[in-house]
Amino acid sequence: MADIIEMPKLSDTMTVGTLVKWLKKEGDTVVSGDMLAEVETDKATMELECFFDGTLVKIFVAEGTEVELGAALCAVGEPGEKVDAPAPSAEPEPAAAEPAAAPPPISAPEPPPLPVAAPPAAPSAPAEPGKRIKISPLAKKLAAEKGIDPSRITGTGTGGRIVRADVLDAEKNGVGGGMTGSVYMTKGPIQEDKVVKVSNMRATIARRLVESKTQLPHFYVDMEVDAGPLMALRAQLNEGLKDEGIKLSVNDFIMKAAAEALRKVPAVNCSWEGNQVRHHSRAHVSFAVAIDDGLITPVIFDAHVKSVFDIGPEAKTLAKTARAGKLQPKQFTGGTFCVSNMGMMGVNSFKAIINPPNAAILAVGTTVEKPVVVNGQITIGQRMNLTLSCDHRVVDGGVGAQFLGELKDLIEKPALLLV
């Protein structure tokens, strides 16, 4: 008798899943541990594992179908066995095992943050001349900036869609040239008139942001800091360590400074839980990464006990994995504080929306050269704007200002971050 594989509960808040892509076809021999399909949940796109040995005798669900928990997806049995789709199970499969707890103090179960993009589908051939190019807005903008012709790029996103990573690979491999200058002009509509069904991930982002903005009483604290000492130290370290392949970003220092500021002002490292406030003993600092269909926040666990030299490589690996759509839930859940940096995009300042149940999020702007007054004299300085968004149910104005003051002191005395 054939074994039926049903839609499992792959996240704690999942009610339906979308069968994105079958990795096996009817008639294929499968063994326990094989990956049968890609399933998009409300948080991530994950692979569906086979738990039986045999032949994939029947697929009940077509690619792109939204499926209720417990509904039959496929059957594994003997070659040639005839199987009809059974009725959905009364109860869904139990949730996947929770991720292992992260490591020491600065504790509690944390919220699921914003979800991760779908893993790339199998590569497709470059677009034929005259054929509409499927390309994400971010990838299109990047291609224009780099003077790369999208029609000569092979897309690895879902359905052959060109994503940001494809443009970067094309630049690295010398593929896709043909545009004149960094910006190209074209005629016709700016895009096709169409209605696109919202993905589970985008729907979850929309729901969480509306909940955050309407249910959390946000207030904002803004402070300008002298970024000159930090920029100088970073340049010295990167020059001295380049032979070891180490290159630290400004954000690596910001995350380390945020963790240390949380140690000094732990009231920010808290969460609202209705009739109680949870105080977290460890600083799990998440950071925002832009992906093709939204935003994901990988977590640097125990950032308060890690050096900036630990945080830098870990953050780069997490960001790369996020952009490839391969983050696991345990890598983007459990943050207690978040950093969102748009400085690399030339943004001077902005106000970020809090990622519940965090009580605050730090928005980081670009470093700007500007005239400043030092000891009564006008000189050229490097200034960075920081904006802290706070949940007023947990963090009062004075506490938010104290946190930013500690953060400012650490950024302006960056040698303290190397201790």
> What does the DSSP assignment read for 81-149?
---PPPPPPSSPPPPPPPPPPP-----------S--PPPP----PPPPTTSPP-B-HHHHHHHHHHTB-
Residues 273, 367, single domain; the answer is yes
Peptide bond into 357 cis (omega under 30): yes
Report the alpha-carbon distance of residue 414 to residue 419 in Å, rounded: 10
Residues 42, 166, single domain; the answer is no
Distances (CA, A) of 246 to 222, 268, 316, 343: 32, 31, 11, 21
202/252: higher pLDDT: 252
The residue assigned the tokens 């914003």 is 114
182/315: higher pLDDT: 315
β-pairing, 285-287 vs 277-279, is unpaired
The tens digit of pLDDT for each residue in 104-147 reads 556 443 444 454 333 444 444 555 555 678 888 788 888 888 88
The tens digit of pLDDT for each residue in 379-409 reads 999 999 999 999 999 999 999 999 999 999 9
Distances (CA, A) of 417 to 31, 287, 332: 50, 18, 25
Residues 58, 148, single domain; the answer is no
Query: Does the pLDDT at position 187 exceed 90?
Result: no
Q: What is the average pLDDT across 276-281? A: 97
Find the CATH number of the domain harbouring 367.
Answer: 3.30.559.10
396 is catalytic: yes
Residues 293, 347, single domain; the answer is yes
What is the pLDDT, as a whole number, of residue 126?
55
What is the pLDDT, as a whole number, of residue 91?
44
What is the pLDDT, as a whole number, of residue 185?
57
Highest mean pLDDT (candidates 85-94, 120-129, 269-278): 269-278
Structural domain including 147 reads 119-184
Residues 227, 278, single domain; the answer is yes
Residues 220, 354, single domain; the answer is yes
The residue assigned the tokens 């200002």 is 401
The tens digit of pLDDT for each residue in 346-364 reads 999 999 999 999 999 999 9
Residues 58, 124, single domain; the answer is no
Q: What is the average pLDDT across 267-280? A: 97
Q: Which of 28, 310, 392, 409 is catalytic?
A: 392
Q: How far is CA 193 from the centre of its chain?
A: 29
284 is catalytic: no
Q: What is the CA radius of gyration of the chain?
A: 24
Query: Does the pLDDT at position 97 exceed 60?
Result: no
Residues 36, 134, single domain; the answer is no
Residues 173, 273, single domain; the answer is no
Q: How many structural domains does the chain have?
A: 3
Nearest partner of 308 among 171, 410, 198, 206, judged by Cα: 410
What is the pLDDT, as a whole number, of residue 92?
43
pTM of the model: 0.65
DSSP codes joined into one string, 170-213? HHHTT-SB--SSSS----S-SS-----PPPHHHHHHHHHHHHHH
